[in-house]
């Protein structure tokens, strides 16, 4: 593994596997406390109009709990740079 970066409970790791670097994220479940690696397709990022409405989420592969954690600017950079799909939330007038 190369290119490890750890920010507030999520770690981005790059690994070279026959071609372009594959990005995996190390995360942990607050329910069962398991630590594991997820690829970008297993994580969702929602960007809202405030800090309270910007978060990332995933399903724990150990206990299947739905996990939702706040995402500050650095987490957003880390996840979008790693190919995580992003949903932009818009306010209605």
Asked whether the predicted pLDDT for residue 8 surpasses 70, the reply is no
Q: Considering the entire predicted model, what is its pTM?
A: 0.74
pLDDT in tens, 31-70: 999 999 999 999 999 999 888 899 999 999 999 999 999 9
Residue 70 vs residues 44, 59, 73, 79, 92: alpha-carbon distances, Å? 12, 15, 10, 12, 22
Asked whether the predicted pLDDT for residue 1 surpasses 50, the reply is no
């Amino acid at each position: 593994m190369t290119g490890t970066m750890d920010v507030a409970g999520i770690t981005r790791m790059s690994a070279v596997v026959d071609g372009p670097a594959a990005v995996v994220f190390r995360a942990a479940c607050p329910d069962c406390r398991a630590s594991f690696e997820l690829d970008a397709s297993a994580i969702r990022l929602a960007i809202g109009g405030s800090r309270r409405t910007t978060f990332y989420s995933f399903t724990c592969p150990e206990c299947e709990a739905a996990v939702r954690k706040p995402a500050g600017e650095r987490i957003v950079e880390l996840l979008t740079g790693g190919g995580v799909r992003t949903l932009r939330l818009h306010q209605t007038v």
